[in-house]
A and B are shown apart, each in its own frame.
Chain A
Amino acid sequence: MSNVGVGYLLVLILACAAGTYLWRALGVAVAGRLDPDGEIFSWMGCVALAMIAGLVARMLVEPVGVLATTSLLERLGATACGVVVYFVFTRRNLLAGVVAGCVAIVLFQLLR
């Protein structure tokens, strides 16, 4: 690891912040030129939703990091627990569904 000063780290953080904010600002600028009820807008909504759904599918099918130590069956089983608690048992209590899924994946590891 490099031994660098606080000044460098601050520059690094500010530059990363600018590189991130750029896309947010671009989004606001683009939105200002579009009709919010128009077709391009609908299409952008589709792109955003598909992007997030793709990320979730990737995390479940091909995870990286600590999730990669679990099996596909365990991840799908834990997801099913979350889905059942959210849709069936709690009438769409998001926190309950999320907690159920997380408890399930941890339990599957303990019961191995």
Chain B
Amino acid sequence: MLHETERVIDVETTDYPSPRAALAAGARDALGAPIAVLAAGYVGYGALASGFDFPPLLIVASTLLIWALPGQLIMLEMHAVSAQLVLIVLAVSLSASRFLPMTTVLSGMMRHPRYSSWQMYAAAHVLAMTTWVAAVNRVPQLPAEQRLPYFVGFALLCWIACAVASAVGYFVADQMSELVKLGLVFMNPIYFLLILTGETKAALGRLALAAGAITGPVAYAIAPQWSLLAAGLVGGSAAYALHRWRRHRE
């Protein structure tokens, strides 16, 4: 069988004059929908935290250090009901397991002899689901040595903006109406839906999206805590198997 390995992601190329220019381009591309969506979430986080006994500086520190909104919300909510430290950390860590496939895929794309492994490990810290969906389609279009700087420019600006957003949320909490909160919360599903359906062009990627959309709510009905990873494993593997089977038959 002489089949070329099927890519999940479609490839067309863009070339920036230098890695530095790629870094700047990444930061530019983050301005707009990605930062708006992330910052909206973190304003909400800051607002929620204002009701708990976290000082504003620690709120900002938690955003910079943890940088995973679902985990941070779990931390706040479990702390509020005086849960044991060990249990809080376990629940937060469990919710962060989604980073494993995301980081694997993206750092595999960004490897280049020019960059050391500590740079890859540092870049992994600024990854968020919101930046992943934007980067995973964009990064393969760049020459290999521009990929890491592009991603770092993109993700770092989001990271800093959200540190500011969590402080803003802390101070404007009382002024936010339910309708404003609703609008901010809805940014997440609509952003992911549009960017994924609009930018995922490879057949395998599209199949994975469709399979995940079906398995997601089913997995949530069975085991909410594990639903994210379970939906990904079941839906993603089913899509991958179906694609291989179809390719095999051709």
Binding site for B on A (CB under 8 A): 1-4, 6, 8-28, 30-32, 34, 36-39, 41-62, 65-67, 69-70, 75, 78-79, 82-83, 86-87, 92, 94-95, 97-98, 101-103, 105-106, 109-110
Contact = CB atoms under 8 A, between A and B. Distances in A.
A23 B103 CA distance: 8
B100 A30 contact: yes
Given A13-B75, A101-B187, 14 more contacts: A11-B85, A16-B72, A16-B75, A16-B88, A20-B67, A20-B92, A24-B124, A37-B5, A38-B5, A50-B209, A66-B181, A86-B194, A94-B198, A101-B194
Given A25-B124, A52-B212, A2 B82 contact: yes
A67 to B, nearest CB: 5
B129 interface: yes
Main secondary structure of the interface of B (DSSP, over half): helix
Contact of A19 (B9, B93, B98, B207): B93
B117 A49 contact: no
Contact of A36 (B97, B111, B120, B200): B111
Contacts of B32: 94-95
Contacts of B109: 36
Contacts of B228: 51, 54-55
Contact of B231 (A20, A50, A70, A79): A50
21 contacts: A11-B85, A13-B58, A28-B117, A31-B105, A34-B108, A39-B5, A45-B204, A47-B101, A47-B232, A50-B215, A51-B101, A52-B133, A52-B196, A53-B209, A53-B212, A56-B193, A79-B190, A83-B194, A94-B195, A101-B187, A105-B186
B217 A48 contact: no
A79 B209 contact: no
A34 B190 CA distance: 33
The 4 A-B pairs at the shortest CB distance, nearest first, are namely A54-B216, A27-B103, A51-B232, A50-B212
Nearest to A30: B104
Interface in B178-204: 178-179, 181-198, 200, 204
A30 to B, nearest CB: 5
A31 B220 CA distance: 29
Nearest to A110: B179
A26 B97 CA distance: 10
A48 B132 contact: yes
A46 B237 contact: yes
Which of B108, B121, B220 is most buried by chain A, counting CB atoms within 10 A of its CB?
B108
